[in-house]
Chains A and B, each alone.
Chain A
């Protein structure tokens, strides 16, 4: 296992189009997180999963954003009717949790950069 994999690495789309990003976490990690990062900012929390269950979705996200993790392995993040403000780096991270809950160290993928024209 070579780490967290994200595809595509770059996506350029026209406003109004739908886009989907895929994240393949480290195989033994049961938690998966999606973040959005714009230039000069920290990663902004979008949503996270424990296995296939989506535990929380940021209130900042509009209904145009949806994420799934159907079998508790890979995850997809879909953005419908993209807007120019959606242009950002979309980061996926996964983690495991040891007994006692103290681990939760995030391993990030390289990200998927979205440009909306």
Chain B
């Protein structure tokens, strides 16, 4: 069946360093969504990418959708302690099922 993969599984950075997580799907996606889950919380929607090659920015966060619509990345510039959490990508299939990747857990050392 369809799979969504993410690397790395964990990332520890010093505050102020950059962070990137990568997402890959085994099949072409209608769109890709990114969610953030704080420790002890539930996933919260960050952004959705729809078009091939699309790039979106939210302050220090930059999201990209690959040309083939099978991969995506999230880059955080100058991490802060408020960025701590697990970042999930999620792909929507042609049947509107939303499949989540395993997530990348970000720790920020002050």
Contacts and interface: CB of A to CB of B under 8 A. Distances in A.
Contact of A104 (B6, B43, B98): B98
Interface in A84-117: 91, 93, 97, 101-102, 104-111
A91 B42 contact: yes
A40 B105 CA distance: 8
Contacts of A110: 41-42
A108 B96 contact: no
Nearest to B10: A40
The prevalent SS among residues of B at the interface is strand
Interface residues of A, number: 27
B85 interface: no
A43 interface: yes
Contact of A59 (B1, B6, B41, B92): B1
Interface in B5-50: 6, 31, 33, 35, 41-45, 48, 50
Given A59-B1, A104-B98, A108-B42, 6 more contacts: A50-B96, A101-B96, A102-B48, A104-B31, A106-B90, A110-B41
